[in-house]
Amino acid sequence: TTLINRAQTEQILRDELAQAASAGSPLSLLLIDLDDFKRINDTHGHEAGDQVLREVALRLRCALRLTDSAGRWGGEEFLAILPGTDARGASQVAEKLLHELRAAPMGAHELSVTASVGVACYPDDGHEAAELLGCADEALYLAKASGKDQLAIFDPARSQRSLERTRRLHFLRRRTRVAMAWLLSDDHEPAPLRIGYTSIGRDPASDLCLAGDGVSRRHGVVKVTPDGEVTYQDCSRAGTAHNGALLEEPVRLSLGDRLTIGPYQLVVAADPTPQVQRASSQRA
């Protein structure tokens, strides 16, 4: 992308924070994450994805000022450092960047690309690099949860409940793995049925997780609630949280088949509405 790497970006951030502390001036961070970038790689290939990243880097530099710095933070994430800039000024730069990204399609495939941006400011949100990065990361996921293609400014005045909810969602996104099962539809075309689980224990308050990508009309999540109820939800538009059990490998299911999930059995019905019953013989 021709941008500096993460280690170089971290060093610039430390240097700029030291200067801001010495001068008593503000500093802002923009943590930028491309929306649905995985879909570009999956659909058009990694070469197309690399083209998009290079174009995003160019547009990012166009949106920034001469005094600003930007680096590749990892994957499809970028970090911009804005010295002498408060939250209002950072918002203006972020809006300019979002406009630059929307302005024209990218790459040989003329792909439409948007991003979400989390904003954190020194000294209001922290004095150390790790503090500010954590606040920017939390603001980024607030932007994602609010619909993507927008910015969010870290706001310490938000309710603790809202902040804890965002942290749980972020944690689930990082720690949740998904195994794939297959449901054979009436016309014998395989359609994916996602069986998800988390390894962090049951949390009834976690009601969000990775959403399905809508690749099939029968794409969904099997949800195992803390009281043992198993339900199926279509994921063409949204996902649900679930407290499931480990499935190590993809499984192929036909209508009427039973799948053991921990102490439960999932019965694949024709509607398809899964039903569940205790599989006591499977319990240790």
Q: Please report the sign of the dihedral spanned by the C-alpha atoms of residue 274, residue 278, residue 282, residue 284.
A: positive
Cβ atoms 253, 182 nearer than 8 A: yes
Beta bridge partners of 276: 266
Report the DSSP pairing between strands 190-197 and 220-224. Answer: parallel
> Is residue 128 annotated as a catalytic residue, yes or no?
no
Report the DSSP pairing between strands 151-153 and 115-122. Answer: parallel
Q: Count helices and strands (H / E) in the chain.
A: 6, 13
CA 2 vs. chain centroid, Å, equals 25
Cα–Cα distance measured from residue 166 to residue 71, given in angstroms and rounded to the nearest whole number: 25
> Which amino acid would we find at residue 41?
N
What distances in angstroms separate CA 170 from CA 93, 96, 124, 167, one per listed residue? 25, 26, 23, 5
Contacts for 19-25: CB closer than 8 Å, 24+ residues apart: 19/83, 20/83, 20/84, 20/122, 20/123, 21/123, 21/127, 25/83, 25/84
Token pair of 268, please? 């694949």
Cβ atoms 228, 242 nearer than 8 A: no
Catalytic residue among 76, 95, 131, 249: 76
Return the C-alpha torsion angle 86, 92, 98, 100, nearest 10. -120
Token pair of 161, please? 């409940």
Token pair of 142, please? 């607030």
Active site residues: 76
